[in-house]
Amino acid sequence: MGMSYLVYPGAHHTRFHHALGAMFLMQKVIQTLRFKGVGISEDESEALQVAILLHDIGHGPFSHALENSIIENVSHEHISLLFMEALNVQFNNRLTLAITIFKNQYDRKFLHQLISSQLDMDRLDYLRRDSFYTGVSEGSVNSERLIAMLNVYDDGLVVEEKGIYSVEKFIIARRLMYWQVYLHKTGIVAEQLLLRVLKRAKELVHEGIQVPATPALSFFLKTFVTVDNFGASELNTFSKLDDADVLSGMKWWLDHDDFVLRKLSQMILNRDLLKVKLKKKAPKEEHMATLLENFRSQHNLTAHEASYFVFHGVISNQAYSMDSDTINLLMKSGKVVDVAKASDQLNLKALSKKVVKHYLCYPKPNY
């Protein structure tokens, strides 16, 4: 959950715990579907469990913040796949089917949908887990009931008709978690600062300035790692990188000579973040320029340096997508219908519109 613990102090649960939980739900859904007569072989069952256990293994410390700072635009899904392939060699190809399903190259489509879709075991676990650990009880989903109503039709995952209200509530709960937790403005500014402190550290290293860090972090500060040069050695070092490297790095930098590196580290570790505003529109250019110039002149910085503290961006969430891989209901009549179309009302259709918000971050006056 990135830096969400700054808002929800209980949110210290781990990706490892989530992986175990999602695997547990996978075991439940396999049991349920088999009970309903859906054939799932032992090999498929193992593959599903392996795939869900490893689906997030490519995440670096603090989740998404690193994908665009320490490494250059390498998605965690790509890295998860690299790990699976490495493990596949180690386990004599026993993960081949898991990888095929994970890549959606297996002909029984619903197996992939259990791992990645709008109603997969990943979401069923993380929504409930994050709701539990943050205490935002409105975000809780009834995973047992949703799983109990799953079925397979024409190789696609479907929800039995009577589950329609539970699916609606699931979509609303997820939407609530997005705006209330995952996209909480304090979490966003903290994540942006984290991303920027790492960018700055990398920048300084490449300017030849000494930036103390643990070995794994030092490697990624020194090296430009992209999709193209992400080899076995990079993967190995990446596997050693965790929150402790990033946190101990920032603690080291609290007294660093560089204003930007030092200030960003202080902001994060002392919980004294930038101001952040959420708006429907992007801020005006002049407004940004004024804020930037104020801070620049106040601390005698270059415009580039000041830009670490004054910035804006976009967050968005689509509660439900009707475009692809919809959640489908199996009606008593035998027909299969997109849940948004099966509803008595147009509320789910309304929720399929993407909502976009702009955030604007800038220093408090006394900085």
| Residues forming the site for a second copy (CB under 8 A) | 9-10, 12-14, 16-17, 20, 133, 137-138, 140, 142, 145, 165-166, 168-169, 172-173, 175-176, 179-180, 214-216, 240, 242-245, 247-248, 251-252, 319, 344-351, 353, 355
DSSP string, 242-268: -HHHHHHHHHHGGG-SSHHHHHHHHHH
Q: In what order do the strands lie in the sheet with 336-338?
A: 150-153, 156-160, 328-330, 336-338
**Residue 205 or 269 having the CB closest to a second copy:** 269
- Find the shortest distance in angstroms from Cβ 277 to a second copy: 11
> How many CB atoms neighbour CB 54 within 10 A?
21
- Find the shortest distance in angstroms from Cβ 320 to a second copy: 10
- Find the shortest distance in angstroms from Cβ 137 to a second copy: 5
Q: Give the Cα separation of 64 and 278 in Å (integer).
A: 20
**Residue 260 or 319 having the CB closest to a second copy:** 319
Residue with tokens 């329609």: 164
Q: Give the Cα separation of 80 and 71 in Å (integer).
A: 14
Is the distance from CB of 26 to CB of 111 less than 8 angstroms? no
The 10 Å CB-count burial string (b at 16+, else e) for 275-304 is ebeeeeeebeeeebeebbeebbeeeebeee
Strands (DSSP E) contained in the chain are 150-153, 156-160, 275-279, 311-317, 328-330, 336-338, 355-362
- Find the shortest distance in angstroms from Cβ 266 to a second copy: 12
* Residue 139 zone, left/alpha/beta (φ > 0; ψ -120 to 50; rest): alpha
- Find the shortest distance in angstroms from Cβ 26 to a second copy: 17
Pairing of strands 328-330, 156-160: parallel
Beta bridge partners of 150: 159
- Find the shortest distance in angstroms from Cβ 242 to a second copy: 8
The one-letter amino acid code at 304 reads: H
- Find the shortest distance in angstroms from Cβ 253 to a second copy: 11
**Residue 45 or 248 having the CB closest to a second copy:** 248
Q: Give the Cα separation of 62 and 122 in Å (integer).
A: 18
- Find the shortest distance in angstroms from Cβ 254 to a second copy: 8
CA triple 306-311-312, angle to 5 deg: 175
- Find the shortest distance in angstroms from Cβ 79 to a second copy: 19
Q: Give the Cα separation of 234 and 226 in Å (integer).
A: 10
The one-letter amino acid code at 176 reads: L
